[in-house]
Amino acid sequence: MDYKSEIKKVSTAEFFPAVIMMKGENWRLVQICATTVENGYEMSYSFCKDYEMVTLRLDIAEDQEIASITQVYPCAYLQENEAAELFGVRIRNISPDYKDNLYRIDKETPFK
Amino acid sequence: MAKRSIVPFGPQHPVLPEPVHLDLVLEDETVVGAIPSIGYIHRGLEKLVEKRDFKQYVYIAERICGICSCGHGLGYCLAVEKVMDIEVPDRARYLRTIWLEMSRIHSHLLWLGLLADAMGFESLFMESWRLREKILDMFDETAGGRIIHSVNCVGGVQKDMDSSMLQDVLRAVSDLEGEMKPVVDTFLQDYTVQSRLKGTGILTKEDAVAMGAVGPMMRASGIEYDARLLGYGAYNELTVEPITSTEGDCYGRCEVRLKELFQSFDLIREAVGKIPQGPVSVPVKGNPSGEYFVRIEQPRGEAIYYIKGNGTKYLDRFRLRTPTTSNIPPMVEMLKGCQLADVPLLILTIDPCVSCTER
Amino acid sequence: MNKVSKSPWLLHYDASSCNGCDIEVLDCLTPKYDIERFGIINTGDPFQADILLITGGINSQTERVVRQLYSQMPEPKVVVAVGICACTGGVFKECYNIKGGIDTVIPVDVYVPGCAARPESIIDGVVRALKVLDAKQAALKDSGR
């Protein structure tokens, strides 16, 4: 039994419509991961439906702002706040936005 | 007009062993909203992957959480093995499965005890934890540790069980199964327990999907999904059937976990019956390069491990999405409308594991 | 005859542990190990506690909680650091959010190493702490309090 687990690259313009489509097709949001790469970030949003998994990969520049998906998937707030606080990804309109007070650590964040 | 007030809940709280904080918005005695704040156990373990090489990091992964330790080690190793294209020997796959099922039994019994304690049913708490010792003794005998076992390594397992150990495990499982009967009856049929559990904290099937619930919480809301069916370890050769309940209340979640205990007993028996002879690990050469997402079913639900290697012995990124991270948003949803006195019990029924969540 | 060490009350706090030591501390209360045979009762209230049992290293958020719990406990009091993280920081020592062992914040009387500390060694640590408690009480008496 090998179930699908693929990573799909999407552009910033395609990203939000793709998330809305996922929601329409009843995919569950399972994971959001930010990775620091040279001059920017790699954002991975994973969705599951039954036993299949699809990851939307979004490459963004360091100062590029992206929209929060909490309007579509309300449960995304913890993981989006984490990406914003620890990695410094600029995410607009997270609801609720902890404004870098999720982990409240002494060391200066985000980590570069 | 009901009076609104905000009650802080935690971090040091008599019911929960771990520090977690919630701001509860109340209208008289009814909860209308809750804002979770975490970070009391945040250590920054994902970042530590940059300072430890990928083989050493197995020990760190196991210490992300002391209850789910075995599964974290396994999930991390599976991800590295997938990236490096390592084929694990058959005996190692079976041993991993047996240890993982044993840790599911220990975790569920621990949870049942805490649930009883949250209801003030102290003798039931003591009984559940007394039974749990049987499994801990088996961990002690087979792996040499009660809580942190360090059995998984990249390329297989570090320890082998000889046939007398396997027989001891079978005997412990049978003993436990026999002694579980009165405990199960109390949890499912006792009038007092039912009056606390039935009809409280209902999570509908729709909410469970929308808020991303996982594990027993999701199955108790009637969704048939068990990541063990993905077939990692030896699960592709064993019989796994997702256990569900339709109510979606605290009673349903308790019922699912109790039935999963018996499923684990059967899985261990089946695995011991089928375990092949052979080596338990293969040598590992080279360094990981590439990325992969692994999903495994922890006692608390589906956990996702992601690694990204760059060809050196230090990984670029390790990411772990634990079951409790996913279960907090549905818990907040579930708390709306409940009574203040039920809050500790409701929080407990998601089986929160704060160390996992905050890493 | 010293009364406090015959029935000391214990307060447990998880500073930033992995849960491993915490469930072993709870295990000490259950039938197999049964720490109550020493007259010890687990309490959630720092005002009534004599022994503070801490697991895990100190991070920036738990620092003030630990200080506060310690200051709320009445004299004489002893602190037991359970597990290697509570003693020195352990495997988490190099993490960005870990300051080190409990003794970076409050004085520790008994160290119980182990990862996870076994119930036998936790009980041993608590019994040692009782002797420290006796000594501290005698010192208090001598100073006329």
Same domain? For B191 and B241 the reply is yes
Burial of B234 (0-12, 13-18, 19+ CB in 10 A): buried
- B136 within some domain: yes
User: Rounded CA gap, C96 and C93, in Å?
Assistant: 8
pLDDT per residue as tens digits for the range B84-111: 888 888 888 899 899 999 999 999 998 8
Residue type for position C58: I
Same domain? For B150 and B200 the reply is yes
Question: Does domain C4-142 match CATH 1.10.150.120?
Answer: no
CB proximity B39 to C under 8 Å? yes
Chain B residues with beta carbon closer than 8 angstroms to that of C20: 63, 65-67, 69, 147-148
- B359 within some domain: no
Same domain? For B82 and B178 the reply is yes
Partner chains of A (3+ C-beta pairs under 8 Å)? B, C
Secondary structure of residue C71 in the 3-state scheme = helix
CA C34 to chain centre: 17
Q: Which residue has the tokens 């649930």?
A: B115
pLDDT of residue C2: 62
CB proximity B35 to A under 8 Å? yes
CATH code: domain of residue A68:
3.30.460.80
Same domain? For B95 and B180 the reply is yes
The residue among B157 and B51 whose pLDDT is bigger is: B157
CB proximity B38 to C under 8 Å? no
pLDDT of residue C79: 92
Same domain? For B96 and B215 the reply is yes
CA B71 to chain centre: 8
Contact flag C14-B13 (C-beta cutoff 8 Å): no
- Domains identified in chain B, total number: 2
Q: Return per-residue pLDDT of chain A as tens, 112 residues.
A: 466 777 878 888 888 888 888 888 888 888 888 888 888 888 888 888 888 888 888 888 888 888 888 888 888 888 888 888 888 788 878 777 777 677 777 666 666 5
Chain A nearest C-alpha distance from B333 (Å): 10
Contact flag B67-C23 (C-beta cutoff 8 Å): yes
Same domain? For B3 and B86 the reply is no
The range of the structural domain enclosing residue B189 comes to: 50-330
Chain B residues with beta carbon closer than 8 angstroms to that of C65: 11-12, 19, 40
Same domain? For B10 and B158 the reply is no
Chain C residues within 8 angstroms (CB to CB) of chain A: 59-61, 96-97
CB proximity A111 to C under 8 Å? yes
ipTM over 0.90: no
CB proximity A7 to C under 8 Å? no
Chain A residues with beta carbon closer than 8 angstroms to that of B212: 28-30, 73, 75
Burial of B195 (0-12, 13-18, 19+ CB in 10 A): exposed
Contact flag C116-B147 (C-beta cutoff 8 Å): yes
User: Rounded CA gap, A61 and A48, in Å?
Assistant: 27
Same domain? For B302 and B200 the reply is yes
The range of the structural domain enclosing residue A55 comes to: 4-92
Picking from A26, A73, A78, the nearest residue to B325 by CB comes out as A78
Average pLDDT over chain C, rounded to an integer: 84
Chain C residues with beta carbon closer than 8 angstroms to that of A103: 97
- Domains identified in chain A, total number: 1
Chain A nearest C-alpha distance from C82 (Å): 24
Picking from A2, A46, A105, the nearest residue to B304 by CB comes out as A46
Same domain? For B14 and B73 the reply is no
Average pLDDT over chain B, rounded to an integer: 85
pLDDT per residue as tens digits for the range B276-329: 888 888 888 888 888 888 888 888 888 888 888 888 888 888 888 888 888 888
- B353 within some domain: no
Chain A residues with beta carbon closer than 8 angstroms to that of C60: 104-106
pTM listed for this prediction: 0.87
CB proximity B147 to C under 8 Å? yes
- B342 within some domain: no
Q: Which of A106, A109, A111, A112 to mutate to test the interface with C (most CBs of C within 10 A)?
A: A106
- Kindly state the DSSP code that residue C33 receives in the 8-state scheme: T
- Kindly state the DSSP code that residue B245 receives in the 8-state scheme: -
Percent of chain B with pLDDT over 90: 1
Same domain? For B107 and B146 the reply is yes
Same domain? For B36 and B115 the reply is no
pLDDT of residue A76: 84
